[in-house]
Structures are given as structure tokens and as C-alpha cells.
Amino acid sequence: MLRHIYRSSSFSSSSHRKPKPKPKPLPMGCVQAKPEMNGSTRPVGLERLKLDNGYVGNAQRRPPPSVDDGSGNGTGGEDHSEVAERDNNNNNNKHPPSSRRISAADDDELVDGWPKWLTDNISKDVLAGLVPKSADSYDKLDKVGEGTYSNVYKARDRDTGKIVALKKVRFDTSEPESVKFMAREIMVLRKLDHPNVLKLEGLATSRMQYSIYLVFDFMHSDLAKVISKAAGLTEPQVKCYMHQLLSGLQHCHDRGILHRDIKGSNLLMDKNGVLKIGDFGLANYYSPKPKHPLTNRVVTLWYRAPELLLGSTDYGVGIDLWSAGCVMAEMFTGRPLMPGRTEVEQLHRIFKLCGTPSEEYWKKLKLSTTFRPPRSYKPSLQEALKDLPSSSLGLLGTLLALDPAYRGSAALGLKNEVRRK
């Protein structure tokens, strides 16, 4: 277990897995999106919102690597350390979704133009306003993204000629939990409407194959690619992207949604340099006074907040702000800030950079002190990032505060960021 490993492991401070990129021309200009009012967000009943309850067991979207499996999980490619599982909050779900195993009899049934297997698992409210489309009405041109749980294609809408992105969400039709998992991504996306959040433009299904495609505007790039093409972004670029990221996050948080997987490859960029938060596959609803525990096995390891690593199940917006801080540092340096290979090493890297937590921290967050590091460290953020402009170090220090309460809110981050301009 974590405690055992913490005690016995030799903390490797191995070099970054991503090689430092060679200096290349700076990325495209950064344009700030104009804020829009969220007029189209429909109120959705609380019970409906709680459809996300009970996604447990086999519904894991990204099976968590075990920290003590000795498999070396966490070394290698870009996303290998991704960890996530559904929240174990299946109690008190008064209105569970009417999911069930999909039978052959469902094959050709349609409800309001949608395949019955979809309407059985997603509320009509969520689908309202979306025009049912067939996957056949798109020509796939190219595969632009591939993950464990989705494939993303560049495609052309045969009717309009428009170039779109189709995200084919993998799910197991014989496993209703997995269908509900996919349903949550759609429900969350339907609640969001902001220039810095990737908008769900439509849904396409393939009736006979139980395939579902989320349709988005096609985006030119993502922040991970932008960062890897440059040796580090300039301060005005970082500020501009951070402003957009925090604006988008504020919108999500205002609507009670935690993204839970903020990192460069989930921050899409259009050709004008507008940043849009994408990939809500791990998002969930939260409340300041949570009734149900949330899983802490979320967020890609390098971007995961200390309270998650320490087992918190009543976390809040701070976890997305922490990830935003990690992304901010990465934009400046061109390298991930804390590329840990295991949960234990990740915690150790955090404590080395941010200092070991105070007595109050453990008491206040009600976290088990068994995870205390064997020795104490002083904060070294300033030293580690001494080339960073001092005007940005302040915001970074706030976002990377050990105590989530000090990270404040995205709105506060925005204010700080604007004041320092």
C-alpha cells in the first residue's frame, strides 16, 4: 500500500520523461475569446444531475495502475500515468438511470430518432435540442487522437461540407455501467456554454454497432502540442492562455462541475489561438458540502493535487486549480513540472517543491498523517523556477498552494492575473 511504499521506496528524482524540446519558432498568437452569456444553459433537476451516481465497478474508464504492482507503470509515454475511476457514490440514488443490458431486440428501435439503447441511458432533457445524426453522414478523413477510451477523427459533414472532430467514445454495450459513463460526459458537456469550453455540437450514432460519436468543431491543435513545439512560451502568451483556462474553469465550477483531468492535451486550441477546455470524460458534479465521497483516483498523475494523492474524497475546485498551476509552469519551461512515476514519487516531488505541510494542514484536511514524508523540506518553487518573471510567480504560488483553500477560485486567479498585467 501507499504507506508501505512511502516508507520503503527510494524516491527517484529521475529526469523528465519528455525530452527537452529544441528551440523552435514560437506558437501562433494568443487571442482572447470574448465572454458570452450562458443563455442557453437549461436548468437541469438535481436528481437528473445525480444520474452520475453509482458509476462503479467495471465502469472504470481508465483502470488505475496499482502503486505497488511493481509494473513500472508510470514510465514512458505521454499519458501512461493517467489514472481514473468512477466515484463510489452509489448510495441514495433515488432515480437511477434505467440502464440495462442491451438486447438484440433493441437493434432497430428508434425513439425520437435516437437508438433506443441511447435513450434508455440518457435523459431526453439531455438530448433535447440535438439533431439525431447517423455516423454515416460523416466522411472520416484522418485519425487525430487516440486514447484508451476514445478515438478522435477529423471528418467532413456530408450535408454541409463542414470539417468537424468526431470523438468516438468506447464503451462496452454489454455493460450498462459503461454506457452510463459515456452518458455523463454528454450530460456535463450539455450543461456548459462558454467560449473557453469546447462545445458539444452534436451526437452521431451508428445504430447497429452501438457506436456513439461526440461532434465538436475541429480544433487546430492542443496546448501539449503547442508547448512541445516551442522551448517555452513567452510571459504574454502564458498569461493569455492562463486567462482563458481560468475563465473556462470558472464557468465549469460555477455550474458545479469539476473537470478532474486538466492537462495540456485536454486544452484544445483553435487556429486563432483561442483555448478551449475539452475532454470531460472524467468530469463530475461536486458540491461544497458533499453528501457522497468522490473518488480520489482522478487526474493524470503529474497534474494531481496533493489532497487527492493523500486520499481526500471531499475535494473541490482546488484540484483543477492545482492542475492549472502545473500547466502554467509547463508553459514557461516547456517541461512537465513534476513528472512523477508513481503516486509516492509524485507526493515527494510536490513536497520538495512546495515544502512539507504544516501541522495545521493535516488536521484541517483530516488527512492521514501516515503519509507524512520522512524528512521535511522548505518550499523551493522560487528557486526551481527562478527564470520565471516574478509577476507570474505569485499566481503560480497561489495555484500550487498545498492547502486547497489558499488556491482560492478560478475567479480569484483571474483577478490576480489581471492585476499583475
Q: Cite the active site residues.
A: 261
Q: Are strands 110-111 and 114-115 parallel, antiparallel or unpaired?
A: antiparallel
Which residues between 279 and 298 bind ligand ADP (CB under 6 A)? 279, 281
Residue 201 gets which letter from DSSP? -
Q: Please answer whether residues 170 and 189 qualify as being in contact, where contact means their C-beta atoms are separated by less than 8 angstroms.
A: no
Q: How far is the CB of 182 from ligand ADP (least distance, A)?
A: 11
Closest-CA residue to 318 (of 272, 262, 356): 262
* Contact range with ligand ADP by CB under 6 A, out of 16-24, 48-56, 260-268, 315-323: 260-268
Is the Cβ of residue 215 or residue 344 nearer to ligand ADP in the bound state? 215
Which residues between 208 and 227 bind Mg ion (CB under 5 A)? none
Q: In whole angstroms, what is the distance from residue 336 CA to residue 328 CA?
A: 10
Q: How far is the CB of 178 from Mg ion (least distance, A)?
A: 18
* Binder of residue 55, out of Mg ion, ligand ADP, none (CB less than 5 to 8 A by kind): none
Q: How far is the CB of 16 from ligand ADP (least distance, A)?
A: 20
Q: Which of 193, 279, 307, 417 binds Mg ion (CB under 5 A)?
A: 279
167 is in an annotated binding site: yes
Sign of CA dihedral 377, 378, 381, 384: negative
Q: Is 147 in the site for ligand ADP (CB under 6 A)?
A: yes
Name 133's bridge partners: 204
Is the Cβ of residue 78 or residue 403 nearer to Mg ion in the bound state? 78
Q: Is 168 in the site for ligand ADP (CB under 6 A)?
A: no
Q: Which of 55, 218, 332, 371 binds ligand ADP (CB under 6 A)?
A: 218
- Side-by-side strand order, sheet with 221-222: 221-222, 267-269, 275-277
User: How many residues line the site for Mg ion (CB under 5 A)?
Assistant: 2
Which residues between 178 and 207 bind ligand ADP (CB under 6 A)? 198
Is the Cβ of residue 249 or residue 347 nearer to ligand ADP in the bound state? 249
* Contact range with Mg ion by CB under 5 A, out of 157-165, 193-201, 207-215, 264-272: 264-272
Closest-CA residue to 300 (of 52, 78, 71, 145): 78
Residue 207 gets which letter from DSSP? T
* Binder of residue 268, out of Mg ion, ligand ADP, none (CB less than 5 to 8 A by kind): ligand ADP
Q: In whole angstroms, what is the distance from residue 248 CA to residue 198 CA?
A: 9
CA dihedral 323, 65, 197, 257 (to 10 degrees): -80
Q: Please answer whether residues 201 and 217 qualify as being in contact, where contact means their C-beta atoms are separated by less than 8 angstroms.
A: yes
Q: Is 167 in the site for ligand ADP (CB under 6 A)?
A: yes
Q: How far is the CB of 63 from Mg ion (least distance, A)?
A: 16
162-183 burial, b at 16+ Cβ within 10 Å, e below that, comes to eebbbbbbebeeebbbbbbbbb
Beta strand residue intervals within 334-415, DSSP E: none
Q: Which of 268, 298, 299, 347 binds ligand ADP (CB under 6 A)?
A: 268
C-alpha cell at 275: 483555448
Residue 111 gets which letter from DSSP? E
* Binding stretches for ligand ADP (CB under 6 A): 144-145, 147, 149-150, 152, 165, 167, 198, 216, 218-219, 222, 265-266, 268, 278-279, 281
Residues at the binding site for ATP are 167
* Binding stretches for Mg ion (CB under 5 A): 266, 279
